[in-house]
Structure 1
Amino acid sequence: MLNTKQPVLRRFWYAVMPVDHLKDGPRPFTLLGEPIVLFLDGKGEPAALEDRCCHRTAKLSKGWCKDGNIVCGYHGWEYDRDGKLVMIPQFPFEQPIPEAKARSFHAQTRYGYVWVALDEPLSDIPDIPEDRTAGYRRIHQFYDKWNTAALRLMENSFDNAHFAFVHKGTFGDINQPKPEKYEIVETDYGFDAETIITIRNPPNAARITGTTDPTTKRHQRNKWFMPFCRRLDMEYPSGIRHIIFNCATPVSDGQIQVVQILFRNDTEADCSTQELIDWDAAIIAEDRDMLESTDPDAIVDMGRKIEKHMPSDRPGMIMRKRLLDLLHSHNEEEQPRQQIA
C-alpha cells in the first residue's frame, strides 16, 4: 500500500516529533510525502503549515519565530498559526497586506509529542489512560526513522510467531514458538488482541519483569488503532505492567518515523529509565533489522500475496481488510481492489 497515494490516510493523527524540539524555533518534517513546518504559537501550542513561503517558495523552516508567528528567512514575510500572511516588512505601514496564506494543518500536543492531521480527522488521538493515572510514569523511549512501511510495523506488532526467532537474542525462546492463548476481537477503532506467552528472562531483564526466575509469563493486551498506532499492555506475574505505545508515522512510501512511549507502574528506584530504554532498544533493534529487509510496498489486497497463512497471520489479514474497506469508503476516486498498491 503506497501511503502517499491514499487521501484518506491524511485524515488521521500522527505523532511527528517531541514538542520540546520546537522550543528553539521552527522544525521541518515530511508527513505522507507532504513537507510541513512546525512551530509554537504565542500560547506555546504547536502549529503546522506547508513548508513553503507564498512569495518565492522558500522553506519557512529556514526562518524563525516572532511573537508566536513564523517569519520566512528569505524576505521576512510573516505568517500566523493559521497560515495567514500578516506582515511584509518592505511594505509602507499604510499599505494593506495581500490576502495570501500558507496551507495550515491540524496540530496538537499529546503525550509530549506534536500530533498532526493533514485533513479533517476521522477520529481522535488514541487514548492512553495511564498517562493520567497516579502510580504510572511516562518514558520517551524511541524516536527513529525506519526504512519500511507503516503497515509492516503494525503487522509485526501483533505477530507472536516471530518472537521465538527474531527475538531469540533477548526474550524469545526458540523452543516455544506458540503462545498459550491468542484471541482477537474487532472494535470500531481496530481490534484488541489478547495473548499469554512464556518468555525467557535473562539476568538483565530481572528488573524489567520484576522476577529473577529464568522464565516468566507475559499477559499481553494489545490494541490496534487504525491505521498505524498500537498499545501493548504487558502484565507480568510480579504485578509490573509494561505498557508500550507506538505510532508508525508515514514519512514517505518507504520510510516511517517510529515513536515509542513507555508507561510503567513502578519507580525509578525499582528500574531506572536507562535500563528500560536499553532493554527495549535491544528488542526494537531486532525488529528493525528484520523489517527493513522486507518490501516496503505492503500489499493490501491479499489476492496479490502468495503465502501459507498461519494463525498468527490473522491480525495482518484483518488490518488489510479494514484498511482496504477504509480506502474504498473514503478515497475520492475509488480504484479496483486489484489495483491498490
Structure 2
Amino acid sequence: MQACDVPLLRRFWYCVAPSEKITDKPYGFTLLNEPIALWRDDTGAVRAVKDRCLHRTAKLSLGYVENGNIVCPYHGWAFSGSGQCVKVPQDVEDKPNPFGVPGYHCTEKYNHVWVALEDPIFGIPEIEEFGQPGYRQVIEFCETWSANPLRIIENSFDAAHITFVHKESFGDPDPTIHPFSVDETENGFIVQNDIKVKNAEHMKSALGMEDDETRRRTRNRFYLPFSRVGRICYPNGLENILCTFLAPMDNQRTQFIQWVMRNDSEEDTPAEKVIAFDRQVTIEDRDILASTDLNVPLDRSEGVELHMSSDRPGVLMRKQLRRLIETADAETAA
C-alpha cells in the first residue's frame, strides 16, 4: 500500500501544521498529492483550497489575502474559503456561474490545523488531557520524513525494535518481549504493556529520575489511519503522553508532527529537555525507517514480509486498513 494510491485515505483528518504557521499570508502544503493553500480569513478562521488557480494553474499560496479571500498572484483572481471565485479583474469567456476551485474541510484543534480532503469517516483523535489542569503541551516536531506513514506508525507500537534501534537512548539490552494486550476500538485499537527500559545518563533529566533502569507502563492508542496517542507512566508519577500525527504528502514523503502532554511543569523539566529527549529517539527511528520499502503489503498472503508475535499491533493496523478499503470498494462497485 502506498497512501496516494488509496482514494479512501482522502476521507480522514490530517494534522498539517502548527496553528502559528497559518497566518493571513498563504501557506502551501501537499496532502496525498493534492496541492493545498491555507490561510486565515477576515474572521481568523483557517481555510483550505486547492493550490491551483483555475485560470492558468498558478499557485494560490504564492499570492496574498485580501478581504479574507485568497488572491492569485498571476492575474488577481480571488477565491473565498469555500473555493468560490469572488473576483475577476478581467473578462472571462464562457464563464460558468458559480465557479471556483475545490475547497477542503479545515479546522483547528490542539493548537494545530487539520485538513480532510473529503467528508471524514471519523473525527479528530481525542486527547483527554489537553486543556486539563495539571497538564501542559510541549510542541516538538513538524518535519518531513522519507518513509511510508504506515511504517512510521507501526514503529510506534513495535516493542521489539527498542533494544536495537534505541540502545543509545532508552533501549534495555534484554530483547525479551513481555506480554501485552491489544483491544480493538471503532477507529483503531489500544495496546497496553509494561516495558523495562534503561535511563541513559544524558536522558535522565527529562524524566526527573536518577535510576539507571526502570519500568514504564504504556497505554498506546492507534487511530486510523496514521495517528498515535500514547500514555507513558513512570514510577515517579510522571505521565508523558506522546501525540504523533502523520500526513502522507506523496508516496515518498510523510509529514511527521508530534507534541507531548505532561503532568509536570516547565520548572520541573524545561521544554527544551523534553524535546531533546524525543529528538534523539525520533532521529534513531527516522534513519532506520528511511531505509524501508515505501510500499507496505496489507495482506499476509502477499508473502513479501515475515512477522513475529510482537508485530501483532502492526498486523492489526494493516488488517483494519484493508477492511476499510474493501468495504469502500464494495460500496463503490454497488
- 2:155 aligned partner: 156
Q: Which residue of 2 aligns with 1:275?
A: 273
Q: 2:36 matched to which residue of 1?
A: 36
Q: CA deviation at 1:187?
A: 1.0
1:57 maps to 2:53:
no
The equivalent residue for 1:145 is: 144
Q: The residue matched to 1:42 in structure 2 has which SS? A: coil
Assess if the C-alpha contact under 8 Å between 1:160 and 1:178 holds in 2.
no
Out of 281-290 and 246-255, give the one that drifted further: 246-255
Distance in 2 between residues matched to 1:134 and 1:259, nearest whole Å: 24
Unaligned runs of 5+ in 1: 336-341
- Report the Cα distance in structure 2 between the residues aligned to 1:188 and 1:132, rounded to whole angstroms: 25
Aligned residue in 1 for 2:300? 302
| Distance (Å, rounded) in 1 between the aligned partners of 2:264 and 2:160 | 29
Cross-structure match for 2:67 = 67
Q: What CA deviation, in whole Å up to 9, does each residue of 1:187-214 have, x standing for no partner? A: 1111100010111112222232221011
Label 1:306 to 1:297 Cα distance change in 2 as closer, same or farther (>3 A).
closer
**Is 1:324 aligned to residue 319 of structure 2?**
no
Deviates more, 1:203-212 or 1:213-222: 203-212
Q: Separation in 2 of the partners of 1:161 and 1:98?
A: 58
How much has 1:132 moved relative to structure 2? Answer: 2.0
1:25 and 1:305 map into 2 onto residues whose CA distance is 49
Q: CA deviation at 1:24?
A: 5.0
- Using the TM superposition, give the Cα deviation of residue 171 of structure 1 relative to its aligned residue in structure 2, in angstroms: 0.5
1:91-102 aligned within 5 A: 98-102=97-101
Separation (CA, whole Å) in 2 of partners of 1:23 and 1:154: 30
Match of 1:245 in 2: 243
Partner residue in 2 for 1:111: 110
Residue in 2 that maps onto 1:202? 200
Contact kept in structure 2, 1:14 and 1:115, CA below 8 Å:
yes
Name the count of aligned residue pairs.
331
Separation of aligned partners in 2, 1:178 and 1:319: 23
- Partner amino acid, structure 1, of 2:26: P
Corresponding residue for residue 171 of structure 2:
172
1:127 aligned partner: 126
For 1:91 and 1:253, the matched residues in 2 are separated by 39
Equivalent residue, structure 1, for 2:258: 260
Q: Residue 8 of structure 2 aligns to a residue in which SS?
A: helix
Q: Distance in 2 between matches of 1:244 and 1:308?
A: 28
Distance 1:180 1:317 in 2: 18
Once the 2 structures are TM-superposed, how far is the Cα of residue 333 of structure 1 from its aligned partner? 8.2
State how far apart, in whole Å, the 2-side matches of 1:24 and 1:68 are.
8
C-alpha displacement of 1:59? 1.0
SS, match of residue 104 in structure 2:
strand
Q: Give the 3-state SS of the residue equivalent to 1:131 in structure 2.
A: coil
Secondary structure at 1:48 match in 2: strand
Instruction: Check the 8 A contact 1:86/1:97 in 2, yes or no.
Output: no
Contact residue 183 and residue 190 of structure 2 kept, 8 A: yes
Deviates more, 1:21-30 or 1:236-245: 21-30
SS of the residue 1:231 aligns to: strand
Instruction: State the 1:133 CA deviation.
Output: 0.9
Question: How many Å separate the matches in 2 of 1:251 and 1:54?
Answer: 22
Query: How far does residue 68 in structure 1 lie from its aligned partner after superposition?
Result: 1.1
Residue identity matched to 1:89? P
Conserved in 2, the CA contact under 8 Å of 1:10 and 1:117? yes
User: Shift in Å at residue 268 of structure 1?
Assistant: 0.6
Deviates more, 1:309-318 or 1:326-335: 326-335
8 Å Cα contact 1:181-1:197 kept in structure 2 = no
CA distance in 2, matches of 1:22, 1:81: 14
Question: Which portions of structure 1, spanning 4 or more consecutive aligned residues, are displaced by more than 6 angstroms?
Answer: 332-335
TM-score, structure 2 normalization:
0.95
Displacement of 1:305: 3.0
Alpha-carbon distance in structure 1 between the residues aligned to 2:56 and 2:321: 39
Report if the CA contact (8 A) 2:24-2:39 is conserved: no
Contact 1:7 1:332 in 2 (8 A): no
Contact 2:24 2:40 in 1 (8 A): no
Question: What is the distance in 2 between the residues matched to 1:87 and 1:166?
Answer: 55
Per-residue deviation, residues 103-152 of structure 1 (Å, max 9, x unmatched): 00100011111100000011100010111211111111011100000100
For residue 15 of structure 2, give the secondary structure of its aligned residue in structure 1: strand
Q: How big is the shift at 1:54?
A: 1.7
Letter in 2 for 1:60: L
1:254–1:297 Cα contact (<8 Å) kept: no
